[in-house]
Structures are given as C-alpha cells and as structure tokens.
C-alpha cells in the first residue's frame, strides 16, 4: 500500500499504524540469519527430521486462505521447520484455547495472539535474545510503533504481523443515486445525514439501511476518541468513560440504530459470522455502506465499492480512530527447538516481500518500511486507490488502549456497547454502570 506520493508522508503514515497478532513455539530469521542457525545446527549434527510446530490463528475467508498459502510457501522454502496451521474461529477463541493449553502444558509453538498480562506472568517467551542472534532480522526496518506494541516492560514478547485500522466502505451506486460525494463526508453528522438520505423503506419495513456500524465497542470508541474523549485520565487513576464525549457519542449511535432506523448492526453467531453478514448486506445492496477493517479489502469488490476514512466531528476536527498491530507470540512452555522454529516462521512472514504481499492481498498494513520499495507494492497501490485509505487514516490515528487491569475495563465497555446497540438502553445508564465496574477493577490494581 505504497499510497502516498511523497515518501516522507508515507513514512509518517506508517509510523502511526498498529497491528495485533500472536506467536508460537519457534524462531528463525526470514532470510536465514543466526536464529535459523540453531535449527540448521541441529540438522547438521544428525537430527534428520525437521522441527514440526503448530501455529494457531483465528482467521477466516480470504484471510485464512492467504495465511495457508504463506504457510505452504514457508514449508516449501526450507527443510528445517514444518509449520502446521491450526485454524480457530476468531482471535478470542484462539486466546481461550491458548489459556487451556498453557494450563495443561501442551502448547502450540506459535500463536496469532498477544496478552500483556500473560507475558508478565511468564507465559510467553522473551524474543530479544533471538532477535539479537539474528542480524538479518533488521529490527530498525520495522514500523516502530508496531514493534513497540509488542513490548512489555521494555522487553520484546510479541512481533507485529500486520497492521489494521477500521475504515468506511460504501456502495458507489447508492452514493451516486443520493447525489452524495464521499469526499464531502467530513463529520459523523455528515454521515448520519447521508445515511438518512440513502435509507429506503417499503411497507413499514426498512429495505436498505443507510449505514451499518460493526458490532462491538470498537467503532463507538473510535468515534469517542475523535471527539476528544479518553478512557483514563492522564495520570491513569480515573476511568473517564462516563464523560460528556462518551455519553453524547454513544447516545447518537443508539438514536441512529433504534430511533431513526438509519443504521443497524448484526450481532452474535459463530466466530466472524456477524462480520460477514454485515459485508453481505452491503454487497447485496441492502445497506449503503459499513465500517469495517482495512483487512476486509481482500474480500470486497471495488468495482462496486469505494473506501473513505472515518470522519471527525463538527467543530472538533478530523477523525482519530485507533490503528493497531496484530501481534504474534511464542508460548514459554514450547521447547527451545520449537521456539527457534517459531521465530524462523515469524521472520519469514514479516520479511519485506511477504509483508508487502500480505498487505496487497488483504488490505492490512505492512509492518516493514522497506515494503514501500517493493515494486509489486508500488504498482498495486497506484492501480488500487482504496488501498491508500488505511495508511492515510493512520497518519492521524489513536494508539490502542493498553488495559492496565488485564482486560476488565475493555470487558466493561463491551457489555455497555451491547446494552446500547442491542438492548436500546440509554448510553448514560450503560456507561455509568460500566464506569463503576471499570473503576473498581482499576482501583484493585493499586
């Protein structure tokens, strides 16, 4: 996604982007550095069999297909490591199953998952030594904000696999029919007006929704951050999720969904079912657009769709949605040989060529700055302008919230979001209850 005409701006954009992912039982360099030497040394000393590791990941659809293709390519590229991909329903299921695996002691070597609290408890292996022993790893080439998201208390526990941010996808025909130009939608107020104009009703039932936010707290948190809201006070001691910025923003989402009927969400189901139902609505013309991941681009038809950045708020400024890194880690209970093998696999996945290819094929953001120089990457972004949107948005994005309570604040926000989005409970009530739970969790950490 070498989308910017000026390399300086592209670098700035990448520096703000973030990703999440997970790791496993192994190590190695993408270009055959010293991390791989440990595996090669074992082979030379008579270990004829390659080290076989499991890599757990919760990706479906074309993302899952792309991951399988890369695993197959890695396995065919060398003889020291065999990666067996184990598909989970989603990121959450990956973490739940990993928790059980850690308890039993029978862990995968690599997981597309990261958990700061578990790293502090010693459940994940530190990667700094493996990185130091692999000169070809080229730590400085990583987008540093991505790499820093994998650090816990100054140590590298996770590696960024790709970056993501949630952008807006819209049907070109619906916009044209309503006389709406995507570039004119600068604020959430603009989007609500456009959604109202594009909503179609027939016989008292809504036939076409003007917009479909994605289920969960994330979209609404993005909108709050764009309005200047915070999750915690600057000193980190007070939960701020019942402030006017939060109540006003979440109240509008509740109104748009339940009172105005110009927006709706799909929720529940297995794994990513709700996500794909949302995309289907747009592709079938039952919604004019939706808010989704930059990684959705591999599943979308851009002859019909366009992409735009998340808006800001009138009188406040441009949007500041979260951009994050998807991280991978290596469970500490994996054997040393498996850890080296897993590192080798991770290094292959995020070398310049492969991170560029992943970005082109999925819409996620590359994790190495050198990906911008990949000839295929350069040509692709020129032919596919929608690929520029995530990087452009990342230039003014917010960093992901690092929950100091091990997830309890985030959980309170998820419950509050369900109350607003699904149960039509007033935002002020839902957020006040969430604040009480979150503040108690935060106070318990003192």
Topology alike, domains 7-164+324-394 and 166-320+403-443: yes
What does the pLDDT look like over 150-205, one tens digit per residue? 999 999 999 999 999 999 999 999 999 999 999 999 999 999 999 999 999 999 89
> What is the share, in percent, of the chain residues with pLDDT greater than 90?
76
Q: How wide is the angle at C-alpha 148 spanned by C-alphas 239 and 390, nearest 5°?
A: 85
pLDDT at 25 over 80: no
pLDDT at 145 over 90: no
Using an 8 Å Cβ cutoff, are 330 and 343 in contact?
yes
What pLDDT does residue 146 have? 86
Tokens 């036939």, residue located: 207
- What's the whole-model pTM score? 0.73
- In terms of CATH architecture, what is 7-164+324-394? 3-Layer(aba) Sandwich (3.40)
Percent of the chain as helix, strand, coil, to the nearest 5:
50, 20, 35
pLDDT at 222 over 80: yes
Using an 8 Å Cβ cutoff, are 233 and 326 in contact?
no
Q: Nearest to residue 67, comparing CAs of 40, 43, 48, 94?
A: 94
Domain 166-320+403-443 has CATH 3.40.50.2300: no
Q: Give the start-to-end residue ranges of the domains of the chain.
A: 7-164+324-394, 166-320+403-443
pLDDT at 357 over 80: yes
pLDDT at 13 over 60: no
Q: How many CB atoms lie within 10 A of CB 251?
A: 16
Position 40 confidence tier, pLDDT thresholds 50, 70, 90: very low
What pLDDT does residue 399 have? 85
Position 4 confidence tier, pLDDT thresholds 50, 70, 90: very low
What pLDDT does residue 225 have? 97
CA pseudo-torsion sign 42, 44, 46, 50? positive
pLDDT at 17 over 70: no
Q: Rounded mean pLDDT of 378-402?
A: 86
What pLDDT does residue 45 have? 47
Retrieve residue 287's tokens: 């919604």
What pLDDT does residue 42 have? 42
Retrieve residue 380's tokens: 């692709």
Using an 8 Å Cβ cutoff, are 272 and 261 in contact?
no
């Amino acid at each position: 996604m070498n989308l910017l005409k000026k390399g300086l701006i592209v670098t700035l954009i990448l520096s703000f982007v973030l990703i999440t992912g997970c790791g496993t039982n192994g190590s190695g360099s993408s270009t055959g550095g010293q991390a791989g030497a440990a595996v090669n040394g074992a082979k030379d000393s008579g270990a004829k069999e390659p080290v076989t590791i499991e890599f757990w990941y919760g990706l479906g659809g074309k993302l899952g297909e792309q991951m399988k293709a890369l695993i197959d390519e890695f396995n065919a590229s060398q003889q020291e490591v065999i990666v067996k991909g184990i598909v989970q329903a989603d990121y959450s299921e990956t973490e739940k199953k990993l928790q059980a695996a850690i308890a039993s002691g029978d862990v995968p070597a690599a997981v597309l998952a990261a958990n700061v609290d578990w790293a502090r408890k010693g459940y994940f292996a530190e990667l700094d030594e493996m990185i130091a022993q692999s000169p070809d790893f080229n730590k400085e080439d990583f987008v540093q904000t991505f790499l820093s998201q994998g650090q816990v208390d100054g140590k590298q526990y996770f590696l960024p696999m790709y970056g993501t941010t949630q952008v807006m996808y819209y049907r070109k025909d619906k916009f044209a029919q309503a006389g709406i130009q995507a570039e004119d939608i600068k604020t959430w107020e603009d989007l609500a007006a456009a959604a109202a104009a594009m909503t179609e009703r027939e016989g008292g039932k809504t036939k076409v929704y003007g917009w479909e936010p994605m289920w969960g707290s994330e979209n609404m948190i993005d909108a709050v951050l764009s309005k200047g809201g915070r999750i915690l006070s600057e000193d980190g001691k007070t939960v701020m999720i019942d402030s006017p910025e939060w109540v006003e923003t979440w109240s509008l989402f509740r109104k748009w969904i339940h009172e105005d009927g110009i927006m709706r969400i799909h929720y529940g189901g297995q794994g990513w079912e709700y996500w794909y139902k949302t995309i289907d609505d747009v592709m079938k013309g039952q919604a004019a657009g939706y808010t989704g991941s930059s990684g959705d681009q591999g599943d979308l038809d851009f002859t019909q769709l366009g992409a735009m950045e998340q808006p800001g708020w009138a009188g406040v400024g441009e949007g500041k949605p979260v951009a994050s890194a998807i991280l991978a880690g290596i469970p500490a209970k994996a054997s040393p040989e498996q850890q080296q093998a897993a590192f080798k696999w991770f290094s292959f996945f995020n070398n310049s060529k492969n991170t560029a290819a992943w970005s082109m094929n999925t819409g996620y953001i590359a994790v190495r700055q050198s990906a911008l120089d990949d000839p295929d990457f350069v040509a692709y972004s020129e032919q596919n302008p929608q690929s520029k949107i995530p990087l452009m948005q990342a230039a003014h994005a917010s960093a992901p919230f690092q929950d100091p309570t091990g997830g309890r604040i985030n959980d309170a926000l998820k419950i509050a979001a369900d109350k607003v989005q699904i149960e039509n409970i007033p935002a002020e009530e839902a957020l006040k209850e969430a604040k009480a739970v979150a503040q108690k969790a935060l106070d318990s950490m003192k």
